[in-house]
Amino acid sequence: MTDRTKILVTGGTGYIGSHTVVELLEAGYDVVIIDNLSNSNRDVLDGIEKITGRRPEFVEGDCTDLSTLRNLFTNYPGIKGIINFAASKAVGESVEKPLLYYRNNLNTLINLLDLMPEFGVKGIVFSSSCTVYGEPDVNPIDETAPIKPATSPYGNTKQISEEIITDYIASGAPIKSIILRYFNPVGAHPSALIGELPNGVPNNLVPYLTQTAAGLRKELTVFGRDYNTPDGSCIRDFIDVVDLAKAHVVAMRRMLDGQDTDAIEIFNLGTGRGVSVIELIDAFEKATGVKVPHRFGERRAGDIEKIWAVPAKANEVLGWKAEIPIEETMRNAWAWQCHLAEKK
């Protein structure tokens, strides 16, 4: 039996989850994944093993079922920390199917929190999102920026989840939590063995962009060029998924090993740089030498005009900083798209 600290990663075969499992294994943790494979597939485990030389334990299961989770904690004793990625995350779909989002995202979290004291689990890292800030009044934004009314059930589940964690800890629950508010995760592992695997037509910019560059889509539509920004397109804080994954390892170590840290801490995870949609397309073309056929269309309902982070708190308190340049991120995203084409 190893004396490695054991971590449960829910949603661990997903995009950010799988990259985080790689970093946890490489940092010397043991990992148990539970995933219902609703938005990922099992062969991600092969990619993780090829990269790290170690295969995480895997349980196919639904975290909204309390007995499934109780059995997991019973069968895998000694789990000290949880990283909770398991959630539905498509903004548009959440508007069409709000109950699916509230049931899946909130019941998952409530079940995990409920079982933690019973099984001696010390802390939970929660995957939140900058979407809780809505359209900021000023940019860049730090963690004190006001939480705005959610613009989608998906965003609302992130806000409510943060409140559930806060209230549960305030009630005296013997656990700690670190809430990580992601900006826009993009890219893929440099090995090109794991990456983003969107089901169907991608909602997000970068997978749609790389599929267009690969000729799988006719052209990319830039949703709006009349925003109040230098080039008229929206601005985001695109953070490399490997930088993001590393932040989870740092957060877990701080939560489990850190002395006299607060029971609940919140961090913005971004680069601190605002990049527009058009600038991202240019960065991709410059970095890869591959053109992206694109047109300028209407704005997309619900889009925020501009949002990017002040990452100072994560830099100073966590000792973590996003380091991967956007051009390298674009090359990795393209290498992953090419790997997918070879796999077909």
Catalogue the active-site residues.
154
**In this structure, are strands 123-129 and 79-84 parallel, antiparallel, or unpaired?**
parallel
DSSP element (H, E) containing 296? strand 294-297
Give which of 62, 69, 80 is closest to 3, Cα–Cα. Answer: 80
Task: Answer positive or negative: Cα dihedral of 280, 281, 285, 290.
Answer: positive
Compute CA distances 168 → 122, 161, 211, 256, whole Å: 14, 11, 43, 18
Tokens of 214: 């690969």
Three-class DSSP category at 156: helix
Is 65 or 303 the residue whose CB approaches ligand WQD more closely?
A: 303
Three-class DSSP category at 50: helix
Is 166 or 221 the residue whose CB approaches ligand WQD more closely?
A: 221
Contact 222, 72 (CB under 8 A): no
Task: Tell me: does residue 83 bind ligand WQD (CB under 6 A).
Answer: no
The most distant pair of C-alpha atoms in the chain lies apart, rounded to whole Å, by 60
Site for ligand WQD in 148-187 (CB under 6 A): 184
Count of positions on this chain that bind ligand WQD (CB under 6 A): 18
Determine the interface stretch with ligand WQD among 29-37, 44-52, 221-229, 257-265 (rule: CB under 6 A): 221-229
Site string for ligand WQD, 92-131 (x = CB under 6 A): -------------------------------------x-x
Residue choice 52, 68, 139, 204 for contact with ligand WQD (CB under 6 A): 204
Is 111 or 233 the residue whose CB approaches ligand WQD more closely?
A: 233
Three-class DSSP category at 186: strand
Tokens of 287: 């970095």
Determine the interface stretch with ligand WQD among 109-117, 169-177, 218-226, 316-324 (rule: CB under 6 A): 218-226
Residue choice 19, 80, 176, 236 for contact with ligand WQD (CB under 6 A): 236
Site string for ligand WQD, 19-58 (x = CB under 6 A): ----------------------------------------
In the complex, the residues that contact ligand WQD under the rule CB under 6 A are: 89, 91, 129, 131, 184, 203-205, 208, 220-223, 234, 236, 277, 300, 303
